[in-house]
Structures are given as structure tokens and as C-alpha cells.
A and B are shown apart, each in its own frame.
Chain A
């Protein structure tokens, strides 16, 4: 069973925001809405400081809190793991934005395409579906791969089928130590962060 997931290699990410910009163009999001963005984080105290760049966005959780609170059933989860929003059903109540522990949801009246409804990263689902329909493979063929991954200049972002043991991301997860954000909440995020090779 296909389960799409994203992998961010924190050793590679330089915080350039190219993915953020590419996402904004590909998805035509309005000013202030960033379905993909990269946090600039500091840990420690001078002079023992670490700074890291952490791509974030919708985690396409196995058990998405946003879906459970949605009163209109606009938010759903597909069999392949992608969490979707039906803009025709969404009433813009923003419960989902409050429920999401990843602050991944937006609502903007400036969004000409999606006014006053909840929006978030879709893993470029239309692109994936159109690509698959043409026989293309996400992560291999740019036409079937999320825009942020296509754009990444550090090869930090990867996309693929986490259930396929032969996939690119399965290999990355097998070779490297990784974590998921707020894993303790039990949401089952499908966004993995690599931080070091396995010993």
C-alpha cells in the first residue's frame, strides 16, 4: 500500500527558502501564506550554540487532529496518506488551524483561489495524481514530484513511498537516524527528519 511521505535531511538544509518560494509559486498562495517554510532555530548558549534550518509544513499525519475537529468533513485522509481539504465543503471555521500541532494551516481572505477556507500543504497532490496518471513516478519524475522537492538546491528534501522498501526515502530512513516532530502526540506525522548516519 502506498504511503507518501517527506524526508528532510537536516545536515543538508541551508535555510535558503527556495522550497518556500517554489511552493508559493506552484500553489499560488497569497502573501503571508507559506505551506512550506523553513524555520531558523538556535539551540544552546553562546559560545556553545547550534543553529539549524528545519523545513516544516503539513505532516500528513496518520491520525490528523485537524481532520477530527473538522465539522464539515472537508478535511479527509486519502488511502495513500495525503491529508486533503475539500474547499467546497470547508466553512472556514479554522478549528483545524487551532488543532494542528504543527501550525501548518492557514486561512486568508487574500487567497484568490481559496478565499476564507483552510489551506495547507497538499504534497502537490494534483501534480502527483496527474503524474501517476501519465505513468510517472513521484520522486523520480519532476512532473510527479512536489514543487518543494523539485526546487531543493541542497538535496535536503525527498519525497516517496515510505511503505515501499525499495523507495528512495525508505533507503534514507534505513541508513540514517531520524525523528518526527511531536511524535509523542501520537499523530503519526509522515515528515521525517534525518540528522545523522546510523552508527
Chain B
């Protein structure tokens, strides 16, 4: 028996470090990597999903050799007629298409890439696709904006606004220190991974109070001190009422006035037109002498497109004073009517938050004295995406700002950047703009640089200034537009076309996106689809070629670990971990790196492909270990070079351990300073301010974007343009989903830890253990509601929108609002082995993909109004 060290990165809350017991060449058992216990923030433990890897490896329905579609007709009920082919034939088939495209041109007549690629969420497939990113880099323009969940299944508003305000693509409480946490739907016990579960358990044990605010009692709610069953999509009203209490009921000295005055844009003077008053000579915003003041200065007020709106002696009011007035109407009594939470309870929670904030206290970390503010608000999916997401993110960040809990010990932390650069180090992404704030790489909205010619089909660069234009931006735009616009491109944009080749890996949009039937309809028209396939599934049902890559326990890759990354992945160490073959690949499955190399060779891209690897596309610049660019290299040789370069980097040039060393050790790390978790000291050192509470930049870019669109008669984005407000007002968010009295129920979903990210939905063992948690066998509804409707446990129910219906078994529970239904996870499979027999529907087939329900960041929310009745 031997134990092989490797990692699991099936979800964004990873990686988990594990070992696999192997006997006689057979993988038998997954165990924690106890050798990593000292450096991993979850004790080197492994979440339940990784335990499915053994069954995954030996899955009886695995695709074990390349397959070719023989039935040219594509359709839900069409049998693809898969026929086994050799790797040579498969690669020839694909490369012939690709070479043809290179001859014709990489962009089509609309200016869109002829090649598209879709990968699963959060960048996790990149930890399994070996050197394929180098192939894509060598290829040139690729449309990676065909969504499979992005925007509706992620924390979309948090990603964009979080990066704007505090370099927080994902935002987490500083759980090791937080003492009071208000969690609006953040289901960290299911979505926070091992590090999240480990830390929150420790936090509870030491007395952290977590108040869980959500319509149903999730696993996180179960582990919280208090559950507040809020009405769906009213979180912004609840948060606004908390702010109201802090601003209008608590003595002002209980807020962190020093932080607000020195480290935020609160004292900036705002002119009559809503823009900052500026020094005439320098153009810099004028800072008032006090936090709450009206002052008159010789100033300029400059609006959108550089328009001078005021000049001379101008009166301005501080941003903070405007905030105080803005929040005045949002009392707990006001919110109580909207949220269905008693005003006294809202007020009590606000005061508990304030009491726990320790305003004025400090803590010493690594010899540095920092503010200590152990209070946080975390937001979950559906709260942070779709309409209302902006308001919730703003309110959450403001709640931290008011007590100085933004990016300090105990408060809220942005744990990684994906839109700002460098992505590897968020502190280095902190650069000054002309207004004393953190610069942000907005897509241009000025007349000279804005373009109505998008680079990809979802048009993120034209429509979403906050999406920026980096490697991740394609996935952070309105990724459903790629699908929607195929049939009806709105005026002003080039007609959206089908990609000529579409690559798929670890993604199943026919299950995981909105309006899955509509997606399937479009997939039938994709001319050539290449799917890297583990088993058959609902999306590769429409593919033309299936390629079996060697799976998790069979292939080779080195990734970065530690530092500060997604969710709760902020470590005291950083380094690298190796994924290595615990067993030989089954069947004819092939290491992804070898597949990528073969594609590069056959498409004449070997040199740029190797050059991309040398440049660092696989995570480390190879430097002196660079590969010969003219030669194809085996996977082991490529990763040996990467290992040596990683070792060299990690040791400061002292070591250059190769693949054999890494195979034995599994990982290597060096200390990562805890002070690097907190961005506040970096801003303070640079003399920069957080842009809170007033959003002058958003007001400006929104106004400019509106002008650009209207100049081209593009009026279909007007509703979204209204989101660009300097101080966001409450809108009737729940009303946006109203479908009339025939559809009185809210249908929600919630994370299933066992199935999160969907990759293990076909494992019998995962199904078995997941069924121990309520809701995996049907739709959860309130017990009293069930009684009222004459519904018994196990009855088949029909859940319907005006357009579609699904069936599910009744699971009556007390822990859900009477007006709410819950379908866990994302199921509704009809092709994936094992899962197709679950009898579990998904709300994804009911959620409409629509412009009306798309917010300004291009996201929608996982929520829909439905009717409910016993099925015939």
C-alpha cells in the first residue's frame, strides 16, 4: 500500500490537500493529507466531495476512449450515435477544423471569435486542464463568454463592486477574529469549503455570534445562533435599516469618525449636480473640514464627459452628510413592512453589531498595530446577484465602513482580485487615481474610446464598465447574452453568431444555467462541439467529439496554493501543490497536457504554445528552466520544468526540485504574512481613501454609458442604467419577480455541499450520503403550507411558472417561510449516468433568461415565482 499526495479543486473553496491510498495499482481510499495540517487553514482535511474521486475514477459509465457523433441531427431526443474512434482520428478531426479557421480568419464577419470555450465556474477547471491554457493563449482570440452559470450562480455584484471598493472579488469575514457576523444568505457551511467550515466551527466555539438572515433554515442557519426568516429579495431593506439605526439612532461618536474622515471619501464635498467639488487648479476633490458639513469654495463641478456643471463659488455638502439624509427614511419600522421582520429585532441586531464593533480598539499582528473591528456582514448568492445585488453590496460595505471594519482585523476582507492586476497579489493592485481613491480599470465610457463593437458575444466591454477587460472579464459580463442574442441581437450590436468550434470542459450549462430548455435549443445549432468528457451529460449530448481526459487521480499538474484567494482561502502560508497520477489512466484516457500539446502541434502552434508555457501560463514563469519551443514535450517534462521553476521561486533561487521531488512531497510552502490579509494598511500608507459612501465614479460612468448607447439608439439597456446611482435608493426588488396571484410562492435554491459545483453528481456514494440531508429528495416546503394544501411528505408536486413546470416530491419542513419553496442544488439530469435517475428537478429549467431580470452588472438572480399543486 502507498499513499499518494494530491489535491482536490472541484470547487472554488479549495484546494483541499489529500492523500490517496493505493493498493496493487488500485485507488482505494481518500484521506486528509495530515502532512499539510500545519500549513493548511483547514487542518489538511478534505471535504466530502473529494471522497467521491475513487468512484469517479472507476465509474462504470466513464468515457474511456474518444468518440465521434454519427447522428448529424442534434436534439434532446436524438441519439448522438457515439462511435469510438482513435485519438489520432479525433485529433485530426478537430485540428482540421481549427486549421481551417486559421486560414479563414480567427474572427467572423461580426468580429466575434470563431472559436469559443466554456469551462466550469470559478476557474476550477484550470486546475485540471494541464497546459490547455497555453494552447488557448497560442491560439489567439477565443470567446469564453458563453455562460454556464456565471452571473446567476456566482456572487456577481460582490465580484464587481467588491473589487471596486476594496479589491474584494470575494468578500469574507476575518473569521479567525470576527465576533459578530450578520450573514444574509451566505451559506458558508455548504459553500466555504474545508477552511470555511473549520474556521467557523472554531469561531462558534470561541463565542462568535452569527445571525443568519435568509428565507429558509440552511445548514449555515442551523449552525448559527439566530435565524431571521426574511422575505426573499428584501435583504437590501434589512441592511438599509441597520444603517439607519447606526446613523440616526446611535450616538455619532459610536461610529469610527476617524476612519470615515481620514480613510474614506466621506468628507468630499458634493456639488449641486451630484459630482464632487474640485480644486480649480488641480482638479482634486475638495475635502471638507468636518465629516458633516456644508461649505462654499471656489471650485469646479465636473460631470460626465468632462462637462463643467458649475464654476466659481460653489456650495457643497459632504458625502457623509448626504448619506445621512439619504438613509433617513429607511427606519426599522419601514423595513419591517418589506422584510417581514419585526422592527425591534432589526434594531436589536443593529445595536448588537455596533456593540461588537470595538470602535477605537487596536490589535497587534506581526508587530504591527492595527484597528480591531470584529464585526462583519456576509452576503450569499441571490443576495449578491441580480437586481438588488448592488444595493446589498453597497450596504454591506458601508456597514463595515461606518465602524471602521473594512479591511482590518476582525472585519470584512476582500480575499482576492480577478479583475484588477496583478491577480496574484491584491496589494500590488492598489494604485492611486486622480481623486485620491483606488484606481479601477473601468471599460471606457467616454466618446472617444467606448465601442459598440464587442470583442466577444456577451458584449461585456461595451455594456459593463465594471467588468474591466482582463482574462476573467469575459466570464464576468452578461454571459447569458451570448445565448440570448443568438436569436435576437439587440439594435446597435453586431449580429451574434454561432462559434464554429466550441470547446467544453467540466461544465454542463444545459443543467447549470438559466432557462435550460432554451439553451438546449440553441446548442442543437452549434456546428462543431468538442467536449472533454468524463461521462455523457446533458451538454455533451450535443457534442460532435468526446475526448476522455485522464481524471483527477490520473493526471499531472502543479498549482499555486495559499496566500489569499477565494472565499475563506486566506492562509498563513503560500506555495504549490502537485496533482499526480495515483494510478495509471484508465482505458484510453489521456493526460490533458499531452492533448494540448498534440493540438498545438497539429495546428501549427507548437512554438507559441511552448512560448506561452515558458512565459508563465501554467502558473510559473519558467525562466532558466524554459522549454525548447520548437519541440513537443511530454506532460512529465513540461511539469518537471514547472516544478523546478516553482521550487526556484519558492526558495528564492536556492532550490530547483523537479517532478520526482514534488511527487514525493506533494506540496511545498513558505510563510505568508497575516498582515497581508488586510488591505487597509496599504491604502493608508499610500494616502488613499476607500470610496465610501458616495459613488461619484459610478454616477459618472453610468451617465456616460447612457449617452453612448443613446447616441446609437440603443435604448434596451435603460433600466440597467438606472442602477448607476451615487447613493443607491431602495427599489421594490421583490416586485420585479411578481407573476401575479396564480404564482404566490418564491422558489429558491441553496448550495448542497455534497454536490457543489456539480462535478460529482454521477457518484452513487455521494448520492447516498447527501440523502442524509433534507431536501436532496424533493422540494422543501413549509409544513403548515403543506398541511393547508393537503400535501403529505413524498407526494408528487407540480411547481410551475407561467411558462414551464417541473415535478418534485414534497419534503415538508418547519425551517422555511410559508411563502417559499426550496430546491437544493442543480439537478434535472436526463443524460448523466446515475443522476438521471434521481427524480430531482432543478429550478434552472424554470428561471427565465431575460433582459428585464438582468441588472447593470449583467447578472440575474436564482429566484422565480411559482405555483404549487399536487401533481396529477
Contact = CB atoms under 8 A, between A and B. Distances in A.
Interface of A: 9, 11-18, 20-22, 24-26, 31-32, 34, 37-40, 42, 44-47, 49-53, 142, 147, 150-156
Contact of A47 (B205, B229, B754): B229
Contacts of B54: 25
Contacts of A9: 205
A31 to B, nearest CB: 6
Contacts of A26: 29
B219 A18 contact: no
Interface in B741-783: 753-754, 764-766, 768-770, 772-774, 782-783
Nearest to A11: B204
- Chain A to chain B: the 6 pairs with minimum beta-carbon distance, closest first: A51-B222, A21-B51, A17-B769, A154-B201, A12-B201, A14-B189
A45 B782 CA distance: 10
Given A32-B768, A51-B221, A16 B47 contact: yes
Contacts of B494: none
16 contacts: A13-B223, A14-B220, A16-B48, A17-B773, A22-B31, A24-B768, A25-B30, A31-B765, A46-B815, A46-B816, A47-B229, A147-B31, A151-B51, A154-B198, A154-B201, A155-B43
A153 B194 contact: yes
Contact of B219 (A20, A21, A34, A53): A53
Given A14-B189, A32-B768, 20 more contacts: A9-B205, A12-B201, A14-B190, A14-B220, A15-B219, A16-B197, A16-B753, A17-B770, A17-B773, A31-B768, A40-B772, A46-B783, A46-B818, A51-B815, A151-B45, A152-B45, A153-B194, A153-B198, A154-B201, A155-B43
Given A11-B205, A40-B773, A51-B222, A154 B197 contact: yes
Contact of A37 (B198, B223, B772): B772
A154 B43 CA distance: 10
Contacts, number: 141
A47 B341 CA distance: 11
A49 B229 CA distance: 10
A18 B46 contact: yes
Given A24-B769, A42-B813, A53 B222 contact: yes
Contacts of B198: 153-155
A41 to B, nearest CB: 9
Contacts of A24: 51, 765, 768-769
A12 B204 contact: yes
B817 interface: yes
A142 B18 CA distance: 13
A18 B222 contact: no
A25 B51 contact: yes
A11 B206 CA distance: 11
A17 B28 CA distance: 19
A9 to B, nearest CB: 8
A150 B814 contact: no
Given A25-B28, A153-B42, A142 B34 contact: yes
B340 to A, nearest CB: 10
Instruction: Decide if the interface of chain A is mainly helix, strand, loop or mixed.
Output: mixed
A19 B29 CA distance: 13
B814 A46 contact: yes
B201 A49 contact: no
Nearest to A18: B48
A44 B814 contact: yes
Contact of A20 (B769, B774, B783): B769
A195 to B, nearest CB: 12
A46 B784 contact: yes
Contact of B51 (A22, A31, A32, A38): A22
A13 B205 CA distance: 11
Contacts of B31: 22, 142, 147, 150-151
B818 A153 contact: no
B52 interface: yes
Interface in B26-54: 28-32, 34, 42-43, 45-48, 51-52, 54
Interface of B: 28-32, 34, 42-43, 45-48, 51-52, 54, 189-190, 194, 197-198, 201-202, 204-205, 217, 219-223, 227, 229, 753-754, 764-766, 768-770, 772-774, 782-784, 813-818
B204 A21 contact: no
Nearest to A51: B222
Contacts of B30: 22, 25
A14 B769 contact: no
B45 to A, nearest CB: 4
A25 B772 CA distance: 17
Nearest to B193: A153
B223 A14 contact: yes
A160 B783 CA distance: 41
Residue of B52, B197, B754, B818 most packed against chain A (CB within 10 A): B197
B772 A15 contact: yes
A154 B202 CA distance: 8
A51 B226 CA distance: 11
Given A25-B54, A31-B764, A42-B813, A12 B222 contact: no
A47 to B, nearest CB: 5
Nearest to A52: B222
A39 B773 CA distance: 7
Contact of A151 (B46, B774, B813, B815): B46
A8 to B, nearest CB: 12
A113 B204 CA distance: 41
A15 B222 contact: yes
B608 to A, nearest CB: 43
Contacts of B814: 42, 44-46, 49
B714 to A, nearest CB: 46
B41 to A, nearest CB: 11
A121 to B, nearest CB: 15
B810 to A, nearest CB: 15
A30 B814 CA distance: 33
Contacts of A39: 772
A18 B389 CA distance: 33
Contacts of A17: 48, 754, 769-770, 772-773
Given A151-B45, A151-B46, A155-B201, A14 B219 contact: yes
Residue of A52, A155, A156 most packed against chain B (CB within 10 A): A155
Given A46-B783, A51-B217, A18 B47 contact: yes
A26 B28 CA distance: 8
Given A21-B765, A46-B783, A155-B43, A14 B816 contact: no
B348 to A, nearest CB: 16
B815 A49 contact: yes
B698 to A, nearest CB: 37
B204 to A, nearest CB: 5
A20 B772 contact: yes
A11 B31 CA distance: 24
B768 A34 contact: yes
Nearest to A154: B201
Given A31-B768, A34-B768, A45-B814, A153 B45 contact: yes
A20 B768 CA distance: 10
B453 to A, nearest CB: 48
Residue of B205, B221, B753, B782 most packed against chain A (CB within 10 A): B205
